[in-house]
Structure 1
């Protein structure tokens, strides 16, 4: 069976590697600020657009699901044209479309711009992760991936907090314009500082070869369980997190400022402990870390279903972030080590992740017929069952005795 083959890249040097990681982490931070600043804005945008909350909430899956689908071609395109070019073009398009989103006057327009912006984002974080896989050896890749997902966690927290805290001061349009400006400046800095290395391109094949590459990946048991847990983990995290703004408003009567202050805690564990968690995964393996993270996600959902005081909810939200930090970076590092084209392997991981984000929001919305407590209990029980299964499924993800791949 023909698959895309990797071309071993030359050493880029530690200084270049650090510049590359700083650029990719900064871009990931901004992408996730834009992604998650919408969630706490749902009640406000419902008023602005004179539209039901259920319709406005569709802006979340309308962004992440097209992004997930687009990643399936983003990886092969980066195999053909190079990682650096795809990342830079995607970052510029993302900046332009994020700015244009601020012009929406109706909920339909807003959702359409979210769709095309999600497609443009498909070439940023997933291809950045692929580039990390190209450059950083597997025996210390977890540390680098930890930095990346620490930035993602920080962007998630900052976006959620900024959406709630700053909207009342500057308006929702200014939030989008601010992110767009920072993305454009980052793209200019990336070109001027040559932050992204130009590597030899992998040998890219035809469309038929691309399809065979994906089928080859899915034929591997290690790949199937990894992608399955990427999607399941994203569903569980996103389902709870996307609705936290509405939950805090309904449960505690918080306004935008109060919601923002609570959500600010989400992402702190990733910023503080992300690289450390990655280093521990490199040293001790991922066999225990992945089940622990999924179990912690379930625990947080169950805690939020209880009549906790506000401070208790704050703690549960912080721990929910830690659950993601324990699981997804480890799963992402595994995808960079699968047999086959790395661009396609990471693209399929990103597809699973962003599709899971969209499905999580929709499924939690459907589960709301049980009320907030019932929906949270359902998600928590599913997470605990998945954690128990993960102990068995990921038991072989242990440290390697020899360096290299």
Structure 2
């Protein structure tokens, strides 16, 4: 699932060349994927509570295989966009359901660690899936990447038919959003702005490295590997720290460090091989914040966990959508090197909003004690 999203960024220069379009236009592949996900994930989350998760995970993996096959053999950019819409629909019926299950079954004092493992599995696509896809492009062309993913998706359909047999459906008799809608929307908006701070740059990272540092496809793959390893380590480390110091403290601290790292990335973006280290630190801090905030949401909304995690994933992809649009606008008007500074501003906004949510939570807690 992660590879299907993350592999597109390093392939954008080659896809845009194949269809004779600009990298900004090619970025719409990510945009339509994210929009589809954002619109359909809450629906799948709600339906899975009613009808069971197995059928939707299986459906998603089957559609995943079909959509990637269509991406591989798309004869025009229009069909390419259609294939990414189907891919977004497929991922929406799988990913939120996994997060919801882990949130339900994890012990309270280990929830941060368990979620960090799940997130790190998803992020493995950054250091393994995406670079491997870039290397495949180097030897066999970019279409081969999606052929391989289609084959793996088809295999996983069979595997998951057996894996989820023991998961029974639950009877959803109440609306978990009742009375909490505004509070939940405020909480997940932190995720949206965080996603902008990451993906406004990441979506165009391959094109930026090619333009500003003249990196080859293998050097782009190595850069994505550094980023991916940092993301996985950040997620795993965050899980341990979250269980020890608390979700709120870690999520706030990482957002401050994220803003500072992005400024450094902007200053040294064209510094050649130093970019590898900066990408590693950027991902380390950024995804530590994402994991700790996921744990915070599961803690703050125990009765609405399934729906909230689905909405949080929707918020994530809304952020990716807005980030890709902002990134395309920035590179068209001010160039690639301006992107880190724009992302830093988004990280600061996310921190401010996160702090506000903490203050509101404290007020609610004090009110309940007074009562």
2:258, 2:64 → 1: CA distance? 31
* Change in CA separation of 1:326 and 1:370 when aligned onto 2, cut-off 3 Å: same
1:197, 1:235 → 2: CA distance? 37
- Tell me, yes or no, if the aligned pair for 2:248 and 2:293 is still in contact at 8 Å: no
TM-score using structure 1 length? 0.82
Confirm whether residue 333 of structure 1 aligns to residue 295 of structure 2.
yes
1:218, 1:317 → 2: CA distance? 36
Identify the residue that residue 198 of structure 1 maps to in structure 2: 166
Listed as ranges, the matches of 1:206-217 within 5 Å are 213-214=176-177, 216-217=179-180
Q: Deviations over 1:161-200 (max 9, x none)?
A: 2343220212212111111222222232233xx4336344
- Tell me, yes or no, if the aligned pair for 2:198 and 2:343 is still in contact at 8 Å: no
Q: What secondary structure does 1:394 align onto?
A: helix
Identify the residue that residue 366 of structure 2 maps to in structure 1: none
1:125, 1:282 → 2: CA distance? 23
Confirm whether residue 233 of structure 1 aligns to residue 197 of structure 2.
no
1:393 Cα deviation (Å)?
A: 3.6
Q: What secondary structure does 1:149 align onto?
A: helix
* Change in CA separation of 1:296 and 1:180 when aligned onto 2, cut-off 3 Å: farther
Identify the residue that residue 34 of structure 2 maps to in structure 1: 64
1:64 Cα deviation (Å)?
A: 1.4
Identify the residue that residue 390 of structure 1 maps to in structure 2: 354
Give 1:264's match in structure 2, choosing from 196, 219, 225: 225
1:310 Cα deviation (Å)?
A: 1.9
TM-score using structure 2 length? 0.89
Identify the residue that residue 366 of structure 1 maps to in structure 2: 329
Identify the residue that residue 242 of structure 1 maps to in structure 2: 203
* Change in CA separation of 1:275 and 1:265 when aligned onto 2, cut-off 3 Å: same
Q: What secondary structure does 1:266 align onto?
A: helix
1:215 Cα deviation (Å)?
A: 5.0
Identify the residue that residue 144 of structure 1 maps to in structure 2: 114
Give aligned pairs, total.
358
Listed as ranges, the matches of 1:316-327 within 5 Å are 316-327=278-289
Identify the residue that residue 181 of structure 2 maps to in structure 1: 218
CA RMSD of aligned residues (A): 2.2
1:70 Cα deviation (Å)?
A: 0.7
Identify the residue that residue 86 of structure 1 maps to in structure 2: 56
- Tell me, yes or no, if the aligned pair for 1:35 and 1:156 is still in contact at 8 Å: no
- Tell me, yes or no, if the aligned pair for 2:62 and 2:157 is still in contact at 8 Å: yes
1:286, 1:229 → 2: CA distance? 14
Q: Which runs of 5+ in 1 are unaligned?
A: 1-30, 398-405
Q: Which runs of 5+ in 2 are unaligned?
A: 363-371
- Tell me, yes or no, if the aligned pair for 2:38 and 2:315 is still in contact at 8 Å: yes
- Tell me, yes or no, if the aligned pair for 1:247 and 1:372 is still in contact at 8 Å: yes
Identify the residue that residue 38 of structure 1 maps to in structure 2: 8
1:279 Cα deviation (Å)?
A: 2.5
- Tell me, yes or no, if the aligned pair for 2:233 and 2:284 is still in contact at 8 Å: no
1:175, 1:373 → 2: CA distance? 29
* Change in CA separation of 1:378 and 1:272 when aligned onto 2, cut-off 3 Å: closer
1:392 Cα deviation (Å)?
A: 5.3
Identify the residue that residue 14 of structure 1 maps to in structure 2: none
* Change in CA separation of 1:297 and 1:276 when aligned onto 2, cut-off 3 Å: closer
Listed as ranges, the matches of 1:95-174 within 5 Å are 95-174=65-144
Bigger helix share: 2
* Change in CA separation of 1:382 and 1:235 when aligned onto 2, cut-off 3 Å: closer
- Tell me, yes or no, if the aligned pair for 2:234 and 2:285 is still in contact at 8 Å: no
* Change in CA separation of 1:52 and 1:392 when aligned onto 2, cut-off 3 Å: closer
* Change in CA separation of 1:216 and 1:171 when aligned onto 2, cut-off 3 Å: farther
